[in-house]
Structure 1
Amino acid sequence: MTSAFPVHPQPLPDELFSSWVYRVARANGQNVFSFCYLLIPEMRNTYYNLDYVVTEQILQKLSMPLRVTYFRSRETTLDSYSGKLFASSTPKANRKACILQTGSQKNNHRRYCLQYCPLCLAEGEPYYRKVWRVSFITVCSRHACQLYDRCPRCSSPIRPLLNDVGQPHKMPFLGAITQCFHCAFDLKNTVACIAKTDVVKDTILYERILREGFIKLEVGSNWIYSFSFFQVLRHLMRLVLREVVRDQEKDNIQDPDMLPHNLRYQCMSLLTGVFSNWPSQFMAFCINNKLIYSDFTNNTNKRPLIPYWLEKNIRQNLYSPNSPPSEQSVIAAIDYLIAHDKRLNASALNRLLGYEDSGVIKKVLKSYQRNKLFHLPYMRKPE
């Protein structure tokens, strides 16, 4: 289809692709799925993950009849973050680092992958921002309030496209873009919750880095690619989750991109100011939280395991290969592995304490085995 539609709304500032398509369809008297079926049939039955299936061909099909440039339409997609938020996406797995994940279709009702600010939705024409899909963005920098990732009335995920399909309770209308698909609550009426000032300040910084694609942490230092910076930020969220979640949940810490808003907001609260006065503030954070060098070398599965701009600053302070662990720390690590029903062997202890092959660990472990009657490599007591 090459002729223009009767109405062709242009993408609004930082608008998300699915939000834009929703407004275009409604403006032309269609629901989203009829619109997609007529114009881009390859997108039908993708309502749960619409923002992940956008391709160059789909954008070209939309651009001409909607009288919008290809570049402007691409700015609504999550792939426009490539090279800024993440180095590249993983098309086969539909994964994009630092983007809230939708998961599989059968489990999409369990994932809170879209956030919103009620004050933003109440201003002018309501629409959903692309930045609201970013996992470390937990507050609205414009209104200094927390974002929401679910309906405050029924706790359903934010799924505006489901207002255009069969309703679970046979609601006799097609809901507006700001209404909950499940209970019809207008999200604009959500009571705004004031965010912590430091979290808002950090969010403003992160949004600026995301726009520019670069960051310089100190005067005279080299520029850092934003996706490398956000890789470290995302890993820091994983590290502080150990303090956020309950002890019995520590073994099931998930990807930060799959966590609900309340946990991600707590993580960002613990990370406030961590990149200010670089690197002194970062070092103080690591010491206060008992982070060691190996905590950062495991932030990716490929080598080099740590970005050079980070490694050169923390190695001299956190890497101590010649300092053996104390016997008390080894015993505490053994007790921790036993208490959490984990395998007990020298490799597990070295990994937990941040060593490669410590003689002290081997010595204490042999003594512990002899006195406690544990069999290696498994930490099972004999019956």
Structure 2
Amino acid sequence: MMFTGKLWPVHPHPYPNELLSSWLVRIAHANGEKVQTFTHQEFGVNKQVWNRDIDRLAPEWLLERLSEKTATSIEVVRQTTLKHYKGTLFHHSTHSGVEAWITPLRMYHRKRKGFGLQFCPLCLKEDKEPYFRASWRVALQTFCLKHQIMMHDRCPQCGEAVTFHRIDISSKECGINKLLSICSNCRFDLSDSPIKKVSHFDGGIASNWNQCLLGIEFGVIEKFDIERLAVLHQFGKLLTFHSVSDKLIGFVELQINQKLFRPDCNLRYFEANDVSARHQIIGCAWWLLQDWPDNLYSAWLNGAVRYNQLLKDFASIPVWYSETIVQFNVNYKKRRYELSKK
């Protein structure tokens, strides 16, 4: 049924921190339509919606139409996309590749081959109407700030990625299994997923990590915090880079006296690692930042990372970082001499 009025008959507004894709699915179901049917009739068959990561790459016509048909300001509509993290998590939007700190969905012919959509089962359980948050696409958020439990990035029952926009594809009636918390593959309720309390290497890392996520979520973040995020991201890349990963993680392992597993260095971006691997990678990155610059200096001094690697492909390097790293530009003999003095 084509809706011809100025507004859609039912036009829910986005919930706080809601993802565009989550909101759009809720709108379709609220109007008694399956998602694909609704998007085809309202936007036209020539304007594809689900062949892209719309949370990251939403076309302007889609945002304007949503604003018009739901009586929602365009500013609020834009806040449902991941572009509102521009200037904090990343500086330049890109149509290809991956944005810094944004988990990739790895779209292929409308299907998701990646596990980029995370969720907190307790948040879904508490929601009057389950919905997915924009912050759940942030790679740094490996745990829920509110509940202090680990996030999930797939259905624990069947292992499939979260694809709530497909939950009604096999349903004869659009109202069947329309809750966004239902796995589109096996119909398991994601809000019933196992709970695992988050753990950190130490209290200092836990405090810094929580404060950083709070600043991102509420948009209260200083210039130094943004620069620190950029350095943290650089360390994340190094910790998953073939020629650096094993040595650097091995060094951190010895310092914290914990056995650490090795991440998949074949993945093109560290954000593509599963949530448990990312949690460890980012934990190691926080450790390197801790007690600045002593921990990083120690890693360099012991040969776990080289000077040129610390600067490799690092755009917009913070002054405080470059001023420290330039001191590491010494030859091997001098570094061995420094090590012998310790």
TM bucket (normalised to shorter chain) is 0.7 to 0.9
Distance (Å, rounded) in 1 between the aligned partners of 2:125 and 2:177: 19
Residue number in structure 2 paired with 1:290: 304
Find the aligned partners of 1:195 and 1:289 in 2 and give their Cα distance.
31
Q: Which runs of 5+ in 2 are unaligned?
A: 250-259, 337-342
**Aligned position for 2:91:** 87
The answer (yes or no) to whether the contact 1:127–1:177 under 8 Å persists in 2 is yes
Counterpart mapping for 1:242-261 below 5 A: 242=245, 243=249, 246=262, 250=265, 252=266, 254-261=268-275
Q: CA deviation at 1:202?
A: 3.6
Matches within 5 A, 1:161-310: 161-166=165-170, 173-197=176-200, 198=203, 200-210=206-216, 211-212=218-219, 214-215=221-222, 223-224=223-224, 226=226, 228-241=227-240, 242=245, 243=249, 246=262, 250=265, 252=266, 254-284=268-298, 290-300=304-314, 306-310=317-321
Aligned in 2, Cα 1:311/1:292: closer, same or farther, shift over 3 Å?
Answer: same
| Shift, 1:102, TM fit | 1.9
- How far did residue 280 of structure 1 move? 4.0
- Determine the C-alpha separation between the residues in 2 that align with 1:289 and 1:265: 24
User: Aligned-pair RMSD on alpha carbons?
Assistant: 3.1
Deviation string 1:306-331 (CA, Å, 9 cap, x unpaired) is 43231112322x221484687xxxxx
Identity, % of aligned pairs? 26
Aligned to 1:52: 56
Q: Given residue 311 of structure 1, which amino acid in structure 2 is its aligned partner?
A: S
SS of corresponding position for 2:69:
coil
CA distance change for structure 1 residues 107 and 315 in 2, over 3 Å: closer, same or farther? farther
TM-score (norm 2): 0.79
Map Cα deviations across residues 255-309 of structure 1 (whole Å, 9 max, x no partner).
1121111211121232345444444455456557822321211033x6x6x4323
> Displacement, 1:204?
1.9
Deviates more, 1:142-151 or 1:102-111: 102-111
8 Å Cα contact 1:43-1:53 kept in structure 2: no
Mapped contact 1:150–1:158 kept (Cα < 8 A): yes
Higher relative contact order (CA 8 A, sep 6+): 2
Q: Report the CA distance between 1:149 and its aligned residue.
A: 0.4
- The structure number with the bigger radius of gyration is 1
Tell me which residue corresponds to 1:115.
118
Deviations 1:122-159 (A, max 9, x none): 01221111111111211111100000001101100111
Instruction: Say if 2:167 and 2:178, in contact at 8 Å, map to a contact too.
Output: yes
Structure 1, unaligned stretches of length 5 or more? 216-222, 327-383
Task: Tell me how far 1:111 sits from its aligned partner.
Answer: 0.7
What is the rounded CA distance, in whole Å, between the counterparts of 2:192 and 2:303 in structure 1? 39
Counterpart of 2:253?
Answer: none
1:148 aligns with 2:128: no
Task: Find 2:324's aligned residue among 313, 317, 333.
Answer: 313
Question: Could you report, residue by residue, the CA deviation over 1:211-252 in whole angstroms, capped at 9, with x for unpaired residues?
Answer: 44643xxxxxxx4372x43332222112223236659x65x3
1:62: which partner in 2? 66
Aligned residues: 309
- Deviations 1:170-214, CA, capped at 9 Å, x for gaps: x99444210111100000101110001546534322223424464
TM-score for the superposition, normalised by structure 1? 0.71
The 3 A distance-change label for structure 1 pair 265 and 63 is same
Runs of 4+ in 1 over 6 A off after TM superposition: none
1:27 aligned partner: 30
